[in-house]
Structure 1
Amino acid sequence: MNMLDQELDTMSLGDLKKLQSKVSTAIKTYEDRQRKMALVELEAKAAEMGFSLSELTGAPSRKGKVNPPKYRNPEDPAQTWSGRGRQPGWVKEALARGDALDNYLIVR
C-alpha cells in the first residue's frame, strides 16, 4: 500500500467526494486544453498551406454570424446597431428623449 492509498483511507466521505469533484474538473479542463492546443496547431498548419481549417474540413467557420445593421444614428452615420444585444448609448439617449426607435431604421 502506497502513501496515497493510506491518505485516502483516512479521509472522510465528504472529503473524498470533494476530491472526486476536483479530479473530475481537472480531467475535463485538461481535455479542453488539449483539444484547444490541437485546434490551434491544425489551424496554423492549414494557414501555412493557404487554407482555413473550415475550408479543409467543410465545417462551418467558428466566427459568429454577423447581423447586418438595422438602425443608424443620423447624427453620426458610422454608428449603427443590429437591434440585437445591448443598446448603444446613442439609442438609449434617443429613447430617453422620447424618440421612436423606428425613426432610426435604415430600411423602412
Structure 2
Amino acid sequence: MSDINVKNMSMSELQKLQKDIGKALAIHETSEKKKARAIIEAKAKSFGFSLSDLTGKSAAQPKLEKKAKADKKPRKQPRIKYRNKENPEQTWTGMGRRPIWLVIATDAGAKQEDFLVQD
C-alpha cells in the first residue's frame, strides 16, 4: 500500500480522494456480499434447502420493494381549535405542546376556552 500524505493535499484533492475511497468501499462491499451469499447458498444446499426456502425471499428479489409515495393517501390537515385573538395567524390544533402565546395568555389569567375557534 502506498503512503498518502493528506496534510499536503488541497481541498479538491482530498474531496476526490474521499469520493474514490467511497467508490472503492462500495465495490469491495458488493464483492464481499456476493462471496458471503455464495457460501451461505452452498451451506443451505448441503442441507437440502435453497436460500429462498430459509429466508422466505426469492433469490431474484432479495429486498422487498417499498410502496411508492404516490400510493399513499395525503394526510388531512388537522382542524384548528384555538386561535390567538391578538394575532389571528397564530393557531393551535389542540395536539402536542401548547404554544407559547397560549401559555403566556393562560398564565396571565385568561382561560384556554376563551381562544376556542367557533365553527
What is the TM-score of this pair, normalised by structure 1?
A: 0.49
RCO higher in 1 or 2 (8 Å CA, sep ≥ 6)?
Answer: 1
Q: Which has the higher strand share?
A: 1
Larger fraction in helix: 1
TM-score (norm: length of structure 2): 0.45
